Amino acid sequence: MMKTFASLFMCAVLMLAAATGCGYKELVQKSDTDYGSRTKGDPKAMGIQAYGSRSNDPNAHNNAFFEYSSTVSRDVTALDGIGSAIVMLTDKNAYAAILLDWTATGTLSSGGRMEQDNTGTTEGINNVINGSPNGFSDAISYPYNSLFTVNDYNNLSPELKQRIALKIREKAPNVKEVHISANMDFNNQFNELSKEAWGGRSLTKWIDHFNVIVQHQFAGGKVMPTPIIDPQAVPNS
């Protein structure tokens, strides 16, 4: 009798473990920390695509004005997988410069590669190539010991971009398009522009500069403007 009970008990335990394992896997795949599974029924992969171009309009990135949104930037930064976000809203679009961290999996699409070499942190240096302890004080992102960047925005997980876009649209429902990039230069340019806003200075004079940045990143523009901290950077008069 005792053997029968023990056998039944063990069988029940094994069945529970198996069910729990399957349930846990499904839970992880549908969680906010997994942008890589892309399984059927994953809520992050459902619905109309909320990011990227919605038309072939050649003037899609010719914005009339732009502003830094601290509220939307803070909300996007709070998402799993995001270490930093700077969101600019324009008269028609939203643009997000993001940096990645290790708080989520699958943030890259197939073939994507993060650019940073952070091995110097274990040796107490910044640049593991030349042994320099110095960082890059004017930049938010750099090649060593930094949050992670991805050169091509197409190499970001579609689920990640969808989640970011939906969060932005939740806060700014009138935007036509949402464009997202983790490019290093893009982040550093947006960081300098956001500093202007933090300092209470108008961004109006930098609208042409801003449009060149977003056209370079999202519309095949050939020129990336000189960062505004450079004395050679010329604002719109």
The pLDDT value recorded for residue 102 is 86
More confident residue, 213 or 4: 213
Distance of CA 237 to the CA centre of its chain: 32
Within a domain: residue 151?
yes
What percent of the chain has pLDDT above 90?
Answer: 57
- Classify 24 as helix, strand or coil: helix
Q: How far is CA 159 from the centre of its chain?
A: 11
Torsion of CA 26, 32, 35, 39, to 10 degrees: 30
| Residue 99 burial (C-beta neighbours within 10 Å; 0-12, 13-18, 19+) | buried
pLDDT of amino acid 43:
65
Identify the pLDDT of residue 21. 52
Each residue's pLDDT tens digit, 93-149: 999 999 999 899 999 987 677 878 877 555 444 444 444 454 456 789 989 888 999
Residue for token pair 């994507």: 112
Does residue 194 lie within any of the structural domains?
yes
Question: With 60 as the cut, is the pLDDT of residue 75 above it?
Answer: yes
The percent of residues in the chain predicted with pLDDT above 70, rounded, is: 73
Q: Give the pLDDT confidence score for residue 227 in this predicted structure.
A: 85
Residue 177 lies in a domain: yes
Quick check: is 152 in a domain?
Answer: yes
Domain assignment present for 65: yes
Please state whether beta strands 82-90 and 177-181 pair in parallel, antiparallel, or not at all (unpaired): unpaired
Q: How far apart are CA 102 and CA 124, in angstroms?
A: 20
Q: Is residue 26 part of a domain?
A: no
User: Quick check: 59 pLDDT over 50?
Assistant: yes
pLDDT at 116: 82
Nearest 10 degrees: CA dihedral of 104, 101, 88, 188?
Answer: -160
Which residues span the domain enclosing 118?
52-218
| Residue 17 covered by a domain | no
Q: How far apart are CA 146 and CA 185, in angstroms?
A: 13
Whether the Cβ atoms of residue 162 and residue 46 lie closer than 8 Å to each other: no
The mean pLDDT of the chain is: 82
Of 167 and 6, the one with more pLDDT: 167
Q: Indicate the number of domains in the chain.
A: 1
pTM: 0.79
pLDDT digits (tens, 9 = 90+) for 164-217: 999 999 999 999 999 999 999 999 999 999 999 999 999 999 999 999 999 999
129 domain-assigned: yes
Cα gap 94→79, rounded to integer Å: 17
Is the pLDDT at 36 greater than 50? The verdict is yes
